Amino acid sequence: MPEKQDGIGFKIIALAVYAFMAAPIVIVVLASFSPTSFLAFPPKGLSLKWYYNIFDDNGFVSGFFNSMFLASVATAIDVMIAIPAAIAVTKYHFPGKTALTNFFTSPMFLPTVTFGFVLLQAFSAVRGVPTFYRLLAGHLIIILPYIFRNVVSVMIGFNWTLEEAAQSLGARPLQTFRRVTLPLIKPGIMAGGLLAFLYSLDDATVSAFISDHRFVTLPIRMMTYMEFSFDPTLAAISTVLIALSLGAIVLMERFVGLNIFLK
C-alpha cells in the first residue's frame, strides 16, 4: 500500500512535467493550422495558408536546403573522422589514452558562443574563406563529440578478438572492418550521426556569428524573421521541423533503441 501512495505522488508530478514538456511543441503545431495571424483560443477553424506561405519568397525554402546540405556534409565527414578516432581509444592501449579521449570531446566544454566568436575573429584574420566553408568548419567541430561519444559507447563493449577471428579466416583488414566490425558498431554510428545531424540542422549560435547573406541557414532565417514578425508561417515551418525530429526518433527507436539515452 505505501508503495502505491508514493507512486501516485511522483506520477502526478511526472504527468505535469510531461504536459509542460509537450506544451510549446503542441501549441506550435496548432498555431500552424490557425486561420488567424495569431493563435486564437479557442481556435477559429482550420487553414493551410501558412504552409503555402513557406513557399513565398521569404528565404525559408532556400534556408531549409542550405541547412540540410550543410548538416549532411558535416555529419558525413565527421562520421568518417570519428570512427577511427573511437577505434584508437577503445581498441588500443597506450599512455595518454584518457587525455586523447578528453581532447576529442573537448568542443563540448567550450561555450558555443565563445567558439562562435573565436571563429569569427579567426576568419577575419584568414580572409577569403567562402561562407559555406566557414560554417562547415564550425559545424564539424561542434558536432564531432556527439558522434565520437556514441561510437565509443558501443565500442567499449566490443569484442575485438572477432576481428582476429575474421583475419585468421583470411579476411583482409578492410574486409574485416566492413563485414565484421561495422555491422556491430552501427547502432552507435546511427545514434551519433542522427544526433549530430539534428544538432547541425538546429545550430543558430555558431552560425549567428559566421553566417552572412551569401549562405543563410534555416535557423538563422527563422531568428531574423522572428525579430519582425510572429506570424504562423514560422509555426508552419516549425511543424515541418517537428515532423523531421519525429522521423528521427522513430528511426532511432527502430534501429538503436531509446535505452542509449539512459546510459
Partner 1 sequence: MRARKNALAAALPATALLSVLFILPILFVAVSGFKQDGTKFYVKFFSDPYYRDILITTVLTALRVTFFALLLGYPTAYFIARSTSKYKNVFLIMTVFPFLVSAIVRAYGWQVLLGDTGVLNQILLGIGLVKKPVKILYTMTGVTIGLVHLLIPYMILSIAGVIQNIPRNLEAAAESLGANRLTVWRKVILPLSLPGVITGCILVFSVSMTAFVTPRLLGGARIKLMSTMIYQEVNAAFNWPMAAAISFILLGTILFFLLAANLATANAMNRLGGGKRA
Binders of partner 1 among residues 156 to 185 (CB under 8 A) are none
Helix/strand/coil for 157: coil
Residue with cell 538563422: 220
Q: Helix count (H) and strand count (E) of the chain?
A: 12, 0
Cα dist from 195 to 145, 149, 251, whole Å: 10, 11, 11
Which C-beta is closer to partner 1: that of 119 or that of 154? 119
Q: Choose, by CB under 8 A, the member of 70, 74, 141, 196 that binds partner 1.
A: 141
Of these, 72, 102, 106, 175, which contacts partner 1 (CB under 8 A)?
106
- Interface with partner 1 (CB under 8 A), residue total 90
Closest separation in Å from C-beta 5 to partner 1 = 7
262 binds partner 1 (CB under 8 A): yes
Stretch that binds partner 1, among 52-60, 150-158, 180-188, 247-255 (CB under 8 A): 247-255
Verify binding: residue 117, partner 1, rule CB under 8 A: yes
Q: What angle do CA 85, 87, 88 make, to 5 degrees?
A: 65
Contact segment (CB under 8 A) with partner 1 among 46-54, 57-65, 68-76, 227-235 equals 227-235
| Residues found in the chain | 263
Calculate the alpha carbon distances from 144 to 20, 52, 75, 119, 154 in Å.
31, 36, 8, 16, 16
The only residue of 11, 172, 178, 179 in contact with partner 1, by rule CB under 8 A: 11
Q: Which of 26, 50, 51, 47 is nearest to 35 (CA)?
A: 47
Q: Report if residue 204 touches partner 1, rule: CB under 8 A.
A: yes
Candidates 53, 62, 107, 129: give the one binding partner 1 (CB under 8 A). Answer: 107
Collapsed DSSP state (helix, strand, coil) of residue 111? coil
Closer residue to partner 1 in complex, CB, 56/212? 212
